[in-house]
Structure 1
Amino acid sequence: MALAPALILGGLAFGVSGCTQFPEVNASVSDEMANKPYPDLVPIHTLRARIDSPSLTPQNADAVAARADALRSRAAALKRREAVDAQTRARMERGVR
């Protein structure tokens, strides 16, 4: 007997969801992009070859290494910080007891 109200409410929610106003997708595409031709279809092995090729080149290796060093430095600084300050920790402990 309790199943009937749940089914009615579910059906009502499903029916109302069909009245949702969706955003205009085509309005977000510029005229220039809309008038461009579709990309050429290529064999899958051509796409896989692009995946397997290395993206790190001697030209961008220094930039990648510098970014990795900066991220390691940032991670070390975050590890040294307390996630919760003493005042907040005391308040949390008072709330738990």
Structure 2
Amino acid sequence: MANNSEYSTVTLALDGGETCECAIVRIFPAGENTYIALLPLEGEAADNDEVYLYRYEEDPNGEPVLENIGSDEEYEIVSDAFDEELDAMEYEELYEAEDIEEENK
């Protein structure tokens, strides 16, 4: 993983030997597993604001390991949990903006 000034990124190895640089949106729990949401920074997926969801673990050395989500049912659970995470992120941003406005008065 690389660390950009605004966000952390990861480079995915895609089918066909291509790579895709993605911003890490959030690492979050859903059900019994942990997942990661990635936002592509280039290509068609970035133009369409697609988000990639993967099962997330760390190996014994602390390196991230991404696994494909195994079923439609699991994907549905993860997608719903990610929607809740987005709502929480929006709430946090609004709360922080209000705090900044209060400090500037």
More strand by share: 2
Between Structure 1 and Structure 2, whose CA radius of gyration is higher?
1
More helix by share: 1
TM-score normalised to structure 1 length: 0.30
Larger RCO of the pair (alpha carbons < 8 Å, separation 6+): 2
TM-score normalised to structure 2 length: 0.28
